[in-house]
Chains A and B, each alone.
Chain A
Amino acid sequence: MVSKDDVMAALAAIPGPDGKTPLPKSGAIDGVTIRDGKVFLAIKVDPARAPAMEAMRSQVEARIKAVAGVASALVTLTAQAPQGAPRPAAAPEAPRPAARGSRPIEGVQKIIAVASGKGGVGKSTTACNLALGLSRLGLRVGVLDADLFGPSMPRLFGITEKPALAPDGKSLIPITKFGIKVMSIGFLVGDDSAIVWRGPMVISALNQFLRDVEWGELDVLVVDMPPGTGDVQLTMAQNVPLAGAVIVSTPQDLSLIDARRGIAMFKQVQAPLLGIVENMSYFQCPHCGGRTDVFAHGGARHEAEKQGVPFLGEIPLDIMIRETSDGGAPVVISAPDGPQAKAFLDVAERVRAELFEAGKPVRAAPRIFMS
């Protein structure tokens, strides 16, 4: 039987794509499959140089065929977007190109999702002020408005301009406001035009917003998720290595039922839960100073305890938060020393602690060996 080692040994004399390093040591070999004396081998190359690599490919193929016991050899060149090389599509035993995986986003250290089980609980307002709070703590922050059906970030940040195209002509440059990089579908379509998305369109739009936007170096990317527990949330979990999720809920039971679904979903996909924020926690009357628990109070804290996830804080139901949000001057910016901003800053502090100082060890991805 031919072994992988036999094949590798035969290739030791062939220089890799850089023209110097022996191919087996160059890291360019993307997988070897040997079945009944038939050898399939893929070599990773820069797609731009694929035509120039053809000579190497045929050389490798010839060399493998010369190994004792090899019945046939098929060598393909692969690239990020496979192209150029003949593909062994017809051969049922050929190795299949790997599907798009959960590649990290270059330059972005931690991605957190702000989610809610249902709409109307103040998720986007919380995401916006949380991002600003994290930025005030000295982190480099970006906000991705993934609520494609009802993008709120243009309004919340008071952004009306459209994002520019990067010099490469392929990616968008996010808009910087209050020191934060923001990207939203709302920049590209008007406030009053309906956005009607089919499921697969949402997924591809989301992938583009994650990967085809020049986020640059970020400590945290805050993703404002659409409400609910659907396709987009699952895609996030599958395509993006989430550092964690923040669930926003009001204290009322009706909202908590949905928050519970959100928690269950993130638990299922093993995305760490950073915790629950209780929004509209209580109403402090600006006239008499009296406090009213409009949606009851403390429900989210109890739920967090019950589910064993951290409780991140309470945001009061406050007209100032509402007005500043609608006015495009979020409260953390427009009234940075007020009690409302403090509520968000407290949440941001806890999120930062969970993200960067968490005592619990992060479980590393398993090592995968194909032999």
Chain B
Amino acid sequence: MSDEPKPGPDPWPSELRVQENGKLLKVTFDDGVVGSVSSERLRDASPSADKKRITLPGGRTVSIVAIEQVGNYAVRIGFDDGHDTGIYTWRLLRTLTTH
């Protein structure tokens, strides 16, 4: 995979790294762009129709507990409030991590 920058409309991640005990997702794209997004923002931006939000005891924030690839285009992210139906496309991850 070359480091040559590719135009923006077709983002493709080369690495997804969950950090800070599931509170932060760091994404490296193959055009060299690196960005990160908090688990809270990721959870709120879930594109799933089943977005029910469970408030955790003590008002703590959600953590990412699972990431699983979906096809060639997205990942499914599981949170510790039980929500795991959100499918995050590469494009959505790009938007969330860089804006």
Q: Which residues of B contact A199 (CB under 8 A)?
A: none
Given contacts A102-B71, A368-B16, A369-B16, contact A96 B65 (CB under 8 A): yes
- Minimum distance in angstroms from B55 CB to a CB of chain A: 10
Contact yes or no, A364 B1, CB < 8 A = yes
B 6-44 contacts with A by CB, 8 A: 12-19, 21-22, 30
Q: How far is the CA of A231 from the CA of B74 in the complex (A)?
A: 17
Mask, A336-367, CB within 8 Å of B = 1, is 00000000000000000000000001011111
Query: A92 to B72, Cβ gap below 8 A?
Result: no
Please tell me if the beta carbons of B63 and A35 are within 8 angstroms of each other in the complex.
yes
Complex interface: chain B residues within 8 A of A363 (CB): 1, 12, 30
Q: Is the CB of A268 within 8 A of B69?
A: no
* A237-B71 contact, Cβ under 8 Å, with A364-B1, A369-B17: yes
Instruction: Return the contact of A241 from the options B30, B71, B74, B87 (Cβ within 8 A).
Output: B71
Establish whether residues A238 and B65, one from each chain, have CB atoms under 8 Å apart when the complex forms: no
CA distance in complex: A325, B14 (Å):
45
B69 contacts A368, CB within 8 Å?
Answer: yes
Interchain residue pairs with CB less than 8 A apart (27): A33-B22, A33-B63, A34-B21, A35-B63, A92-B80, A95-B66, A96-B66, A98-B78, A99-B68, A101-B69, A101-B76, A102-B69, A237-B71, A237-B73, A240-B71, A269-B74, A270-B71, A363-B30, A364-B1, A364-B14, A365-B69, A366-B15, A368-B15, A368-B67, A369-B17, A369-B18, A370-B66
A93 and B18 in contact, given A31-B66, A101-B69 (Cβ under 8 angstroms):
no
Contacts of A96 in B (CB 8 A): 65-66, 78, 82, 84
Q: Is A180 an interface residue (CB 8 A)?
A: no
Given known A96-B78, A271-B71, contact A35–B16 (CB-CB < 8 A): no
Return B93 CB to nearest CB of chain A, in Å: 9
On chain B, the number of residues with a Cβ less than 8 Å from chain A's Cβ atoms is 35
Tell me the complex Cα distance, A365–B1, Å: 11
Knowing A364-B1, A366-B13, A369-B15, the reply to whether A101 touches B54 (Cβ < 8 A) is: no
Number of interface residues of A (CB under 8 A): 34
Decide if the interface of chain A is mainly helix, strand, loop or mixed: loop
Across the interface, do B69 and A92 meet the contact criterion of CB distance under 8 Å? no
Is the CB–CB distance between B16 and A367 below 8 Å? yes
Q: Is the CB of A270 within 8 A of B73?
A: yes
Chain B residues, CB < 8 A from A263: none
CB <8 Å contact, A238 and B17: no
A367 touches B15 (CB 8 A): yes
Q: Is A242 an interface residue (CB 8 A)?
A: yes
Q: Kindly state the separation between the CA atoms of A108 and B56 in the bound complex, as whole angstroms.
A: 44
Q: Mark B77-88, 1 if CB is under 8 A from A, else 0.
A: 010111010010
In the complex, chain B residues whose CB is within 8 Å of the CB of A367: 14-16
Q: Whose C-beta in chain A lies nearest to the C-beta of B16?
A: A368
Check A371 for interface membership: any CB of B closer than 8 A: yes
